[in-house]
Amino acid sequence: MNIALNNFTYDASDYADLVFLSSMSSDDLNNLLFLSTSKFQTYLTTNVFTKTFAKFPTVCTIGKASSLCSPKELAYQQWLDLSILPSADPKTPQSYVELYPQDTKLSMLPELGIFLNKANLKPFTVTLGNVITFMQLNRLYNLEILGDILLDKKPTTYDDVFRND
pLDDT tens-digit series, residues 73-120: 788 788 877 878 877 777 777 888 888 888 888 888 888 878 777 777
Residue from 73, 68, 74, 61 nearest 46 by CA: 68
pLDDT band, very low/low/confident/very high, at 124 (cuts 50, 70, 90): low
Report field, pTM of the whole predicted structure over 0.75: no
CA atoms within 13 A on the CB side of 9: 6
pLDDT at 67 over 80: no
**In the chain, where are the structural domains located?**
70-121, 124-165
No. of helices (H) and no. of strands (E), the chain: 10, 0
Average pLDDT over residues 154-162: 63
- Lowest-pLDDT range of 14-28, 124-138, 140-154: 124-138
Share of the chain above pLDDT 90, in %: 0
pLDDT at 141 over 70: no
Classify residue 162 by burial, with Cβ atoms within 10 Å: 0-12, 13-18, 19+: middle
Q: Which residue would you say has higher pLDDT here, 84 or 165?
A: 84
Q: Which residue would you say has higher pLDDT here, 163 or 123?
A: 123
pLDDT tens digits, 4-63: 766 555 566 777 888 888 888 888 888 888 888 889 888 888 888 888 888 888 777 765
